[in-house]
Amino acid sequence: MSLITLTNPRSPVSEAYRTLRTNLSFYSLDNSLHTLVVTSPAPEEGAAETAANLAVTMAQSGKRTILVECDLRRPSLHTLFNLSAEPGLTNTLLGQQESVPLQQTAVENLVLLTSGAQPPNPADLLGSRRMDGLIEQLRQQADIVIFHAPPVAAVTDATVLGSKVDGVLLVIQAGKTRRDHAQKAKEILAKANVRLIGATLTNAPQDSSMGNYY
């Protein structure tokens, strides 16, 4: 995983993330989109990387952005941003913190709420009233709050969290995500009345015919 929007901001991949940011901004004009869950159908399909790079581009556009690690089983965002995993989300939900331990990243306008200690019951924590209150609190502090959630088909966490936010973005990885897994994830979210705003395709072959625009 990498923060390509920082390490190589002029690359076609970074431009694709900026295009995704623009598309979401246009979507938000007619639909409230202050809280967004980024997830995938199955494990290791790039949801964490997508959430992180999308958050970076949002912050770079001047939006106050909060990125939240909600994969409490296999957290990775703290590693991407070279920050400590604790204290974090679980410590907040368990009442162990007087204030939300948001950590400033190296990106202006972007703060990260890491996972915290691994709990025995992630889905229960994410479905709690404390989580409802935290989402509302974070919403008041930012223009956009992006939550990274574990795979839809693997555990219930993303579905539980998705029911509490404005929308869910599904990450599909070219050459890896199976069609039946993607369809199953869509059905799971639909049954829970989760607002699936769309999907984004990652790892797609680059079109060399476009040349180097920059």
Please name each of the domains of the chain with its CATH number. 29-204 (3.40.50.300)
pLDDT score recorded for residue 207? 53
**DSSP bridge partners of 69:** 148
Mean of all residue pLDDT scores within the chain: 91
User: Amino acid identity, residue 31?
Assistant: N
Strand-pair category, 144-148 with 35-39: parallel
Residue 209 has pLDDT above 70, yes or no: no
pLDDT single digits (tens) 81-132: 999 999 999 999 998 988 999 999 999 999 999 999 999 899 999 999 999 9
pLDDT single digits (tens) 29-51: 777 899 999 999 998 889 999 99
pLDDT single digits (tens) 161-207: 999 999 999 999 888 888 888 999 999 999 999 999 999 988 776 65
Nearest to 165 by CA among 42, 29, 70: 70
User: CA dist 171 to 7, 29, 45, 81, 137, Å?
Assistant: 21, 22, 7, 20, 26
The three-state secondary structure class of 172 is strand
pLDDT single digits (tens) 129-168: 999 999 999 999 999 999 999 999 888 999 999 999 999 9
Q: Give the other-Cβ count within 10 Å of 65's Cβ.
A: 25
Of the two residues 84 and 208, the one the predictor is more confident about is 84
- pLDDT-based confidence at 58, cuts 50/70/90? very high
Residue that has been written with the tokens 């019951």 in this structure: 121
3-state helix, strand, coil in the chain (%, to 5): 40, 15, 45
Q: Cα dihedral sign for 122, 92, 194, 59?
A: negative
Element (H, E) at 120: none
The three-state secondary structure class of 95 is coil
Structure tokens at 56: 């970076």
pLDDT score recorded for residue 211? 37
Strand-pair category, 110-113 with 103-104: antiparallel
Residue 208 has pLDDT above 50, yes or no: no
How many residues can be counted in the chain? Answer: 214
